[in-house]
């Protein structure tokens, strides 16, 4: 019960999920892994995303986590089946959680989805929503400029508003009443997105949704940390630990910062083992 | 002499350098490696960029390249010393070449530099320009949204113009007469950048500059392919070979496409070897 929750993201965006988890489960310790050396996952192939997600799973599992939360939408979209097959602790992903909440909240049955190109291209939210309620109509929009805009800190600029207007047009035309923020960075653009969509539209933060599901799962399995336990958070990144504190504040709030450490990820050199088909390795001088 | 030129980039942007090389050296074969599984390099630490650049060097060297062109500005900024120390063939980088051409072309001695956060943060163009002519004044601007705008194909939109206006303001204020396009993607925004800077300002394409230096180096060392040789181009990427043809057209023009192949880069699992300091590895169940 005192074991930490494992949270995995391709970078630091998953810290918005950590924030939601800490709000929902203040006694739980969190072991976070952000794969900053290899982000972003949003433009990688499914096979690569699955490989990296499994590596992250085993890495956090070696630290003794009692559950594995996939905060990265791309990984949640592409690697959930693989993870559920390989894992020996509960695995929860933002996509399923976000879809369940959207299906519960939509009134008119028209749901919009915003995400990276990989998330939208995978049609993962359509599939998850269709499985929950086949009558729900989905309008999806890939928003590849949102992440760099957030990382630039341009949360409330005219440029950001203009980009949002372009990206959200198909969702407005489809008349959606509920919009899933299908990327960890997008909650930081909530105000601009809400304004462009109109006040009547519900925005679903997939991170908030998964945090509630984690709480329910831990409760039902009697895995919750004792009330009043003092949590110990650890933040592990595969690159640039020294920039973590500076960047993490955007997503997390500084009071939550725990121990931060870089993972030594000196891969064994793959180039040394690879020989092109039909060629022999030339001798090095 | 018939050996290929090796060209290395973090992704597909380096294909703008290939295009310049093919124009300058039509008889040369090119072996390109784009590290698409691990891009972008612009937000990675210097140590990681050096490690990945060395991997790319040895990978292309195993294919028998006679020279190694670093098309990636981040790698050229951070890994040149390492590469020059380790390499047993000539290594040429876009940064040095771009700086040399800018120093030759500036009239008033005020040069602007545009690049990713990593390139600008490394101050590599300042150092290179300072070594060539200490009286040159440099104004630099990081433009992290330019790459995603190019990748979105928004080369000529109002949003792009507005972003360019914001980014270029400090260069206009500094009164530069020459601007280095210090990122492989930026030549595709040449028109917008030229319009925002004004017609009198010279834009330096670092890829064009390095292509000329490669030609001079091959000529002086008698390493040029025989005139009229039929070149054979190979494009190797560490992920998403199937998207290459579609994306490469933007940068390269389709007539140049040669053989395309994905590199099997299944790293040996680093997580399996990593144990946090002061902890012992828990036994897997």
A152 touches B: beta carbon within 8 Å = yes
- Residues B146 and B139: their CA atoms lie apart, in Å, by 18
pLDDT tens for each residue of A218-265: 999 999 999 889 999 999 888 888 878 778 877 877 677 677 776 655
B64 touches A: beta carbon within 8 Å = yes
Residue in the structure block whose two tokens are 């997390």: A252
Q: How far is B169 from chain A (nearest CA, A)?
A: 15
* Catalytic residue numbers of B, as ranges: 72, 183
Which residues neighbour B12 within 8 Å (Cβ) at sequence distance 6 or greater?
B34, B36, B237, B244, B247, B248, B250, B251
Give chain A positions within 8 Å (CB) of B45: 239-240
Query: Which of the following is catalytic: A77, A91, A183, A237?
Result: A183
Answer yes or no: do A184 and A221 share one domain.
no
- Residues A191 and A113: their CA atoms lie apart, in Å, by 16
pLDDT tens for each residue of B115-151: 988 889 889 999 999 999 999 999 999 999 999 999 8
User: Do B32 and B20 meet the contact criterion of CB atoms below 8 Å apart?
Assistant: no
Give residue A69's domain range.
Answer: 5-93+208-264
Answer yes or no: do B175 and B130 share one domain.
yes
Number of domains comprising chain A: 2
Domain boundary among B186, B206, B226: B206
Answer yes or no: do B86 and B10 share one domain.
yes
- Residues A266 and A4: their CA atoms lie apart, in Å, by 26
Query: Which of B2, B4, B1, B7 has the alpha carbon at shortest distance from B248?
Result: B7
Chain A, chain B: beta-carbon pairs less than 8 Å apart: 115
- Residues B258 and B247: their CA atoms lie apart, in Å, by 14
- pLDDT above 70 covers a percentage of chain A that reads 90
Answer yes or no: do A191 and A219 share one domain.
no
The residue among B12, B144, B149, B163 with the most chain A CBs within 10 A of its CB, best to mutate, is: B163
Answer yes or no: do B28 and B58 share one domain.
yes
Strand order through the sheet with B178-181: B137-142, B110-115, B178-181, B202-205
Shortest CB distance from B267 goes to which of A145, A268, A284?
A: A268
Answer yes or no: do B197 and B100 share one domain.
yes
- pLDDT above 90 covers a percentage of chain B that reads 66
- Residues B212 and B74: their CA atoms lie apart, in Å, by 20
Is the pLDDT at B285 greater than 60, yes or no?
no
The residue among B159, B240, B282 with the most chain A CBs within 10 A of its CB, best to mutate, is: B159
Chain A neighbours among B 238-277 (CB < 8 Å)? Answer: 239-240, 261, 263-272, 274-276
Answer yes or no: do B89 and B101 share one domain.
no
Inter-chain residue contact A271 with B55, CB threshold 8 Å? yes
Q: Is residue A275 part of a domain?
A: no
3-state class (DSSP) for residue A254: helix
Q: Is residue A248 part of a domain?
A: yes
Answer yes or no: do B85 and B109 share one domain.
no
- The C-alpha angle with vertex A32 and arms to A54 and A247, in degrees rounded to 5, equals 120
Output the average pLDDT for chain B. 88
Element at A93 (helix H, strand E): strand A91-93
- Could you confirm whether A72 is annotated as catalytic? yes
Which residues neighbour B110 within 8 Å (Cβ) at sequence distance 6 or greater?
B136, B137, B138, B139, B174, B175, B176, B177, B178
- The C-alpha angle with vertex A208 and arms to A204 and A209, in degrees rounded to 5, equals 70
Inter-chain residue contact B271 with A88, CB threshold 8 Å? no
User: Of residues B88 and A52, which shows the higher confidence score?
Assistant: B88
Answer yes or no: do B174 and B128 share one domain.
yes
Q: Is residue B278 part of a domain?
A: no
Q: How far is A117 from chain B (nearest CA, A)?
A: 10
CATH at residue B58: 3.40.50.1860
- Of A35-49, A255-269, B5-19, B121-135, give the lowest mean pLDDT range: A255-269
User: Of residues B9 and B250, which shows the higher confidence score?
Assistant: B9
Q: Is residue B281 part of a domain?
A: no
**pLDDT score recorded for residue A48:** 81
Answer yes or no: do A28 and A84 share one domain.
yes
Query: Which of the following is catalytic: A18, A31, A60, A72?
Result: A72
3-state class (DSSP) for residue A102: helix
Inter-chain residue contact B266 with A162, CB threshold 8 Å? no
pLDDT tens for each residue of B244-258: 877 887 787 667 767
Number of CB atoms found within 10 A of residue A158's CB: 11
- Of A37-41, A94-98, A119-123, B280-284, give the lowest mean pLDDT range: B280-284
Answer yes or no: do B197 and B220 share one domain.
no
Q: Is residue B111 part of a domain?
A: yes
- Two tokens at B82? 């390492």
Beta strands B234-237; A137-142: pairing state: unpaired
**pLDDT score recorded for residue A283:** 39
- Residues A250 and A169: their CA atoms lie apart, in Å, by 28
pLDDT tens for each residue of A117-135: 888 988 999 999 999 999 9
Answer yes or no: do B10 and B137 share one domain.
no
> Residue A18 — pLDDT band, cuts 50, 70, 90?
very high
pLDDT tens for each residue of A184-231: 999 999 999 999 999 999 999 999 999 999 999 999 999 999 988 999
- Residues A74 and A121: their CA atoms lie apart, in Å, by 10
A228 touches B: beta carbon within 8 Å = no
């Amino acid at each position: 019960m005192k074991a930490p929750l494992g949270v995995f993201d391709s970078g630091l965006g998953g810290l918005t999920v950590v924030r939601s988890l800490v709000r929902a489960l203040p006694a739980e310790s969190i072991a976070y892994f952000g794969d900053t050396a290899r982000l972003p996952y949003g433009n990688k192939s499914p096979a690569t995303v699955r490989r990296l997600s499994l590596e992250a799973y085993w890495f956090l599992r070696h630290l003794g986590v009692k559950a594995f939360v996939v905060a990265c939408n791309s990984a949640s979209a592409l690697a959930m089946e693989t993870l559920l097959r390989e894992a020996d602790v509960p695995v929860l992903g933002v996509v399923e959680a976000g879809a369940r909440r959207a299906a519960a909240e939509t009134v008119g049955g028209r749901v919009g989805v915003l995400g990276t190109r990989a998330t939208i291209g995978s049609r993962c939210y359509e599939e998850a929503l269709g499985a929950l309620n086949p009558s729900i109509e989905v309008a999806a929009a890939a928003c590849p400029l949102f992440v760099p805009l957030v990382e630039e800190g341009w949360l409330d600029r005219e440029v950001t508003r203009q980009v949002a207007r372009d990206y959200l047009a198909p969702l407005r035309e489809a008349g959606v009443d509920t919009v899933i923020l299908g990327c960890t960075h997008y909650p930081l653009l909530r105000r601009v997105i809400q304004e462009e969509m109109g006040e009547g539209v519900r925005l679903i933060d997939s991170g908030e949704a998964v945090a509630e599901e984690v709480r329910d799962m831990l409760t039902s399995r009697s895995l919750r940390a004792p009330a009043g336990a003092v949590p110990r958070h650890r933040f592990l990144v595969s690159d640039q630990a020294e920039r973590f504190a500076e960047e993490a504040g955007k997503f997390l709030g500084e009071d939550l910062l725990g121990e931060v450490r870089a993972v030594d990820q000196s891969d064994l050199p793959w180039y040394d083992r690879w020989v092109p088909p039909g060629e022999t390795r030339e001798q090095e001088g």
